[in-house]
Structure 1
Amino acid sequence: VGRYLVQLPRGALSAHDDALRRAGIRVRRGGAVLGAGGKASLGPLSPARRKPPSSSPRLDAITLQEQLERALRERQARPTGICPVREALHGALLEELAGTIARDEPRRGTLLRRVAGEARMTIDAYRTVYEKSLLFGASKLSEAAALKGNLEGRIAELQAETASLADEVRSLTDLCESLEHRAQRAEAQAEAETHDASALRAEGEQLQGLLDALRPG
């Protein structure tokens, strides 16, 4: 049997309250239900969230899904990661479902609330691990940045030392080339002097032989 919610202007049925109650028709005024005693009693939730079920549960589910997606978009909830907005909306939705189910099946509603509590505890545990991992990652990042700065300074020192050693190597190479060139020149000069000495010696011997030949016997 379907239930219907009819909204009328304020005061439209004030003169017919007694007749409606005798007919078994419940009248809701501003979110309050007018019972058999003529007194209003508030429901467990506000009328904006608590509406009588219709005869189309599938349509209600689709409508509720669309409302949830619209609320997520309007409040700019993040689709992934830790998001308080998304957590609050899903928590309100789960509480609404638990309340609705508990009206017809109290044990099932209690079980659903227990499952929601377990899920909330699991989420809190994951959040704690996530926050600690962020702190650990931040500390390691700081250490890495400090180590990088030290390494950059050390690299600069080694580069300067390498440049100095390269200059020294070039200087020593130039000195070695100069000494080698001098040695080659000295060797060439020594060979020339040796050749001249040999020639002078041969010439002296030749002159000595000539003198001996010219000397009277």
Structure 2
Amino acid sequence: MAESVQERIIPAMDTLVKYDNPVLITIRTQKATKDAAATKVGTAACKIQTTPPTADLRREAVEILNGILPPRKWKEDGQTWTQQVSSTPATRLDVINLQEQLDMRLQQRQARQTGICAMRRELYTQCFDELIRQVTVNCAERGLLLLRVRDEIKITMTAYQTLYQSSIAFGMRKALQAEQGKEDLITAAVELREQKMELEKTVAELRQKLEQTERRAAELREAEEKKHMEEIRFLKKTNQQLKTQLEGIIAPKK
């Protein structure tokens, strides 16, 4: 696999990161590969090519950029295209354009200004990647340090997202438990109401029995008192008769 010199200018993908023009990846034939290898060996035997220090630094910066922001690859019409991030240093105008593009896309995509918004987060992430690219072109060490900051922010955001999802799941479980507990309480309340009605019915029956018992007891007491009074009157009458008879016997005859 090797990159050909064939390039084309197509609209950049929907991102704030600046990329170079896409490059077509072609597969050379076996014969062309052998010829190129022989030519390369012959050329290497004839002369030794030296690379200027600036070219080495540029190649190193490109490698660091590719490590930070890997090249994109896609297939179109049976052909494979690749696109690397731009290694061109950014100017003041590029930074101003980046800010304008960020504000415009935030408005176009109707990103929320506050609260959780995936669209706003995505656009600011792209803007941060573009800033890392611009800084890395001028100073690779500073770009790597910014890469650490970006990765730390991603880890923190992932932790917050996991915590948020866990809290949502916990809240849902508690809501379901509360709903289930509510149903249990409703069922228990219905059962208690039924028990209350049964107990009230039992109390009413017992009160009715109590009233009947008290009424019967009063009737019996009244009958006993009446019978007792009659016995007392009978005994008094009998006593009076006996007393009269006794006085008649004891009294002397005239």
* TM class by smaller structure: 0.5 to 0.7
Letter in 2 for 1:154: A
Letter in 2 for 1:157: E
Cα deviations by residue, 1:8-33 (Å, 9 ceiling, x for unpaired): xxxxxxxxxxxxxxxxxxxxxxx99x
Contact 1:101 1:109 in 2 (8 A): yes
Q: Distance in 2 between matches of 1:171 and 1:140?
A: 46
Letter in 2 for 1:53: R
Q: Distance in 1 between matches of 2:108 and 2:235?
A: 115
| Percent of paired sites with the same residue | 22
Letter in 1 for 2:153: A
SS in 2 for 1:77: coil
TM-score (normalizing by structure 2): 0.53
SS in 1 for 2:112: coil
Contact 1:68 1:89 in 2 (8 A): no
- Asked if residue 159 in structure 1 is aligned to residue 193 in structure 2, the reply is yes
Q: CA RMSD in A?
A: 3.6
- Asked if residue 139 in structure 1 is aligned to residue 173 in structure 2, the reply is yes
Deviation at residue 170 of structure 1 after TM alignment:
2.0
Contact 2:109 2:119 in 1 (8 A): no
Letter in 2 for 1:93: C
2:115 corresponds to: 80
TM-score (normalizing by structure 1): 0.61
- Asked if residue 172 in structure 1 is aligned to residue 172 in structure 2, the reply is no
Contact 2:132 2:147 in 1 (8 A): yes
The higher-RCO structure (CA 8 Å, 6+ apart) is 2
Letter in 2 for 1:204: T
- Asked if residue 130 in structure 1 is aligned to residue 130 in structure 2, the reply is no
Point out where structure 2 has 5 or more consecutive residues left out of the alignment. Answer: 1-19, 22-82
Match of 1:92 among 123, 126, 143: 126
Cα deviations by residue, 1:137-163 (Å, 9 ceiling, x for unpaired): 323432332333233212211220121
- Asked if residue 118 in structure 1 is aligned to residue 152 in structure 2, the reply is yes
Q: Distance in 1 between matches of 2:235 and 2:200?
A: 52
Deviation at residue 212 of structure 1 after TM alignment:
5.1
Letter in 1 for 2:188: R
1:71 corresponds to: 106
Q: Distance in 2 between matches of 1:168 and 1:78?
A: 68
1:53 corresponds to: 92
**Deviates further, 203-212 or 187-196:** 203-212
Letter in 1 for 2:212: S
Q: Distance in 1 between matches of 2:127 and 2:139?
A: 18
